[in-house]
Amino acid sequence: MSRHARRRSPLQIELTVVGAGILAAAAAVTAVSVASAGEVEHGHDTAEKAEAGADPAVFVQGDELAGNTIHVFKRAQDGTLSAAGSYATGGKGGDQVDAPTDSLASQGSLVYDDRSRLLLAVNAGSNTVTSFRVEGQKLTDRHVVGSDGDFPASITVSGGIAYVMNVGGAGSVQGFRLTAASPAPLSDAHRSLGLDNKRVPLFSSSPGQVAFTPGGRELAVTTKSANTVEVFPVARDGRPT
């Protein structure tokens, strides 16, 4: 289905992006960022959490195909990292077709939310999302929920609401409320991206990232081959309008 033939609500906005190569290149970058209030700024598969009076923890997603794993490191004040354990997510990693370096070909597959103290990771190979409770350098209380789509590759959080981006098939975003126990799917918070990918997509044609705008009132999805940014206004209850 062509981009121009896709059906969308009047409030879904499409912005044309010049230079798809910029999006594809950015998706291959991995960066470590320090945790802050609300959603942590994060790279593709690394998240970092800091606690007052304690050495921060750095979390790295392995994306192993046989069984996805979160690797935990303690970061000393001089920046030195030391291994502090690894935790199975209960799901499988994924590998997009022909991906040259970054097997998920996306940004934001792992995110720590300071508000809920949850670490969220996508399991692209099993179409699920895993949450852990963060206690210093330890991960506890693992929960695994379905992503309501094929090949989840990116996740974003704002104000207690998380959205996962599925990049296989038609592509979609699905909302979750971050509860004390685990992410709970939001009803009427699933939106198709109207793509025409296989269940495991070609890396150059899959969406690159989902992210809330700074105020949390819009949800943006970057595409690659379509050269667009899809923008969904978000109501106060966390659902796309």
pLDDT > 70 in the chain, percent: 78
* pLDDT tier at 179, thresholds 50, 70, 90: confident
Per DSSP, the three-state class of 47 is strand
* pLDDT tier at 224, thresholds 50, 70, 90: confident
Per-residue pLDDT for 33 more than 60? no
Mean pLDDT to the nearest integer, 155-161:
95
Q: Residue 226, by phi and psi: left (phi above 0), alpha (psi -120 to 50) or beta?
A: alpha
E-strand stretches of the chain: 13-16, 46-51, 54-61, 69-75, 81-88, 110-113, 118-123, 128-135, 138-146, 152-158, 161-166, 172-178, 183-192, 209-212, 218-222, 228-233
Position 47 scores a pLDDT of 72
Mean pLDDT to the nearest integer, 54-76:
91
Between 162 and 9, the higher pLDDT residue = 162
Task: Select, from the ranges 22-26, 45-49, 120-124, the one with the highest average predicted confidence (pLDDT).
Answer: 120-124
Q: Terminal CA-to-CA distance of the chain, rounded, Å?
A: 24
- What residue ranges define each of the domains in the chain, with the CATH number in brackets? 3-233 (2.120.10)
* pLDDT tier at 40, thresholds 50, 70, 90: very low
* pLDDT tier at 225, thresholds 50, 70, 90: confident
Per-residue pLDDT for 7 more than 60? no
Q: What is the residue-averaged pLDDT of the chain? A: 81
pTM, two decimal places: 0.79
Position 227 scores a pLDDT of 83
* CA gap 95, 219 in Å, rounded: 25
* CA gap 151, 230 in Å, rounded: 19
Mean pLDDT to the nearest integer, 32-52:
42
Q: pLDDT (tens digit, 9 = 90+) per residue, 180-207? A: 778 999 999 999 999 999 999 999 999 9
Query: How many C-beta atoms lie closer than 10 Å to residue 26's C-beta?
Result: 14
Mean pLDDT to the nearest integer, 30-54:
42
